[in-house]
């Protein structure tokens, strides 16, 4: 543990992957906080305590680093297993729980920032939008669609097109709040307002799709 100790207090072994992870962490944070154009490669290198050339040697160019950062963000925001597996209780309570979890996710500052960043760059990098959609909304809707099919089979819901109903549910749930938050003109809701909105959404859904 000695013959190649560097001039600075650096570690004995170069440890390539540690720097790569530091760069990616910095990139995820800065791109999402400030956006693509407002984030320079200098800033990423500085935040990662690394030289700029190291960034280029690891990721090629700015676009590749950005794409990798977005992909990484999408993966860490959605847990690998989605939450619908083991719910219990009456259907309305299950829907309320799903709705609360989903609403908390899509109105989080993190998710909104990723959302805006992807939209801002989708014209210049067309594959980015599809990447985000598949990693995020598509997975959630697929899981909820399966949940609905099971409830329909059990006779607890009366839905002809479960896929359409699943998207309707999530569109209702995002609602005006999410649309306004996209445009930054709506503060975070109070606990009570969230509960009211979630209940109104679930109740409308049940009025439309409960068996007659």
Residues that bind a second copy (CB under 8 A): 34-35, 37-38, 116, 118-124, 126, 128-130, 132-133, 137, 141, 161, 164, 167-168, 171-172, 174-176, 179-180, 182-185, 200-201, 204, 207-209
From the list DNA, a second copy, none, partner contacted by residue 62 (C-beta under 5 to 8 A by kind): DNA
For the beta carbon of residue 94, count every other beta carbon within 10 angstroms. 17
Specify the residue for token string 């860490």.
76
Q: State the minimum distance, in angstroms, from the CB of residue 42 to DNA.
A: 5
Between CA 71 and CA 172 the distance in angstroms is: 27
Between 16 and 161, CB nearer to a second copy: 161
Query: Between residues 45 and 118, which has the closer beta carbon with respect to a second copy?
Result: 118
- How far apart are alpha carbons 93 and 198 in whole angstroms? 11
Give the shortest CB-21-to-DNA separation in angstroms: 11
89 closest CA partner among 159, 151, 145, 165: 151
**Where in 20-59 is the site for DNA (CB under 7 A)?**
39-43, 50-54, 56-58
Pick 29 or 174: Cβ nearer DNA: 29
* Residues in contact with 22: Cβ distance below 8 Å, sequence separation at least 6, in sequence order: 48, 49, 50
Q: Report the alpha-carbon distance of residue 102 to residue 139 in Å, rounded.
A: 12
In the numeric block, the tokens 């989605």 are attached to 82
Part in contact with DNA (CB under 7 A); list of ranges 61-69, 85-93, 112-120, 189-197: 61-69
Sole binder of DNA in the list 12, 14, 126, 142 (CB under 7 A): 14
| Distance, CA of 156 to CA of 94 (rounded, Å) | 12
162's contact among a second copy, DNA, none, with CB below 5 to 8 A by partner kind, is: none
- How many whole angstroms from its chain centre is CA 96? 21
Residue 56's binding partner out of a second copy, DNA, none, with CB under 5 to 8 Å set by partner kind: DNA
Helix (H) or strand (E) holding 189: none
Q: Is 61 in the site for DNA (CB under 7 A)?
A: yes
Binding footprint of DNA on the chain (CB under 7 A): 7, 14-16, 19, 39-43, 50-54, 56-58, 61-63
């Amino acid at each position: 543990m000695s013959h190649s100790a560097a001039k600075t207090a650096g570690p004995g072994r170069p440890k390539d992957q540690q720097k790569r992870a530091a760069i990616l962490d910095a990139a995820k944070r800065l791109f999402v906080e400030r956006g693509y154009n407002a984030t320079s490669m200098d800033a990423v290198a500085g935040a990662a305590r690394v030289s700029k050339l190291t960034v280029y040697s690891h990721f090629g160019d700015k676009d590749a680093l950005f794409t990798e950062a977005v992909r990484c963000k999408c993966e860490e925001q959605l847990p690998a297993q989605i939450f619908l597996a083991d719910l219990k209780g009456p259907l309305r309570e299950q829907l309320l729980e799903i709705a609360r979890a989903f609403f908390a996710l899509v109105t989080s500052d993190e998710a909104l920032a990723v959302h805006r960043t992807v939209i801002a760059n989708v014209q210049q990098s067309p594959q980015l939008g599809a990447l985000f959609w598949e990693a995020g909304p598509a997975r959630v809707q697929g899981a909820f669609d399966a949940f609905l099919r099971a409830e329909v089979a059990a006779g607890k819901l009366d839905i002809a097109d479960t896929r359409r109903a699943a998207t309707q549910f999530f569109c209702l749930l995002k609602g005006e709040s999410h649309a306004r938050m996209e445009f930054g003109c709506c503060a975070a809701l109070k606990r009570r307002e969230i509960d009211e909105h979630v209940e109104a959404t679930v109740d409308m859904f049940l009025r439309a799709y409960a068996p007659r």
